[in-house]
Amino acid sequence: MRHLTYVAVLAGILAAAIWLEPVLRVGVLRQWRRLLLTVVPVAFAFSIWDIAAFRAGHWRLDPAQTTGVVLPGGLPLDELLFFVVIPVCSVLGFEAVRTMRDRA
């Protein structure tokens, strides 16, 4: 199970933000097309950046704590999930702030 450490951290981040959808009714997941339109290009751009930094030797993942699945192009699956989870949670947080402001 140790190879799921990275994924577990991402799951924790998602859990910390996902409740905003039903509780505050931020309507982010409901706008799933807009969310896709946001997350796909951002994840793509940052994946390229990430691969470049990896190839330059700036960072590496511990094989014992990550899935070990590497996508075509050399991007670890864990990193791709990071670039999906963080944007989704950022949008949830942003819309939550907007929602609270509008209610105030």
Positions touching other proteins (CB under 8 A) are 5-6, 9-10, 12-13, 16-17, 34-35, 37-39, 41-42, 45-46, 49, 52-53, 56-62, 65-66, 83, 86-87, 89-91, 93-94, 96-98, 101, 104
- Residue with Cβ nearer other proteins (44 or 72): 44
Cα separation, 74 vs 57, in Å, equals 13
Residues present in the chain in total: 104
Q: How far is the CB of 1 from other proteins (least distance, A)?
A: 14
Q: How far is the CB of 4 from other proteins (least distance, A)?
A: 11
Cα separation, 59 vs 62, in Å, equals 10
Q: How far is the CB of 22 from other proteins (least distance, A)?
A: 18
- Residue with Cβ nearer other proteins (45 or 69): 45
Cα separation, 81 vs 7, in Å, equals 8
In terms of Cβ atoms closer than 10 Å to its own Cβ (0-12, 13-18, 19+), residue 53 is exposed
Q: How far is the CB of 72 from other proteins (least distance, A)?
A: 21
CB 12 within 8 A of CB 86: no
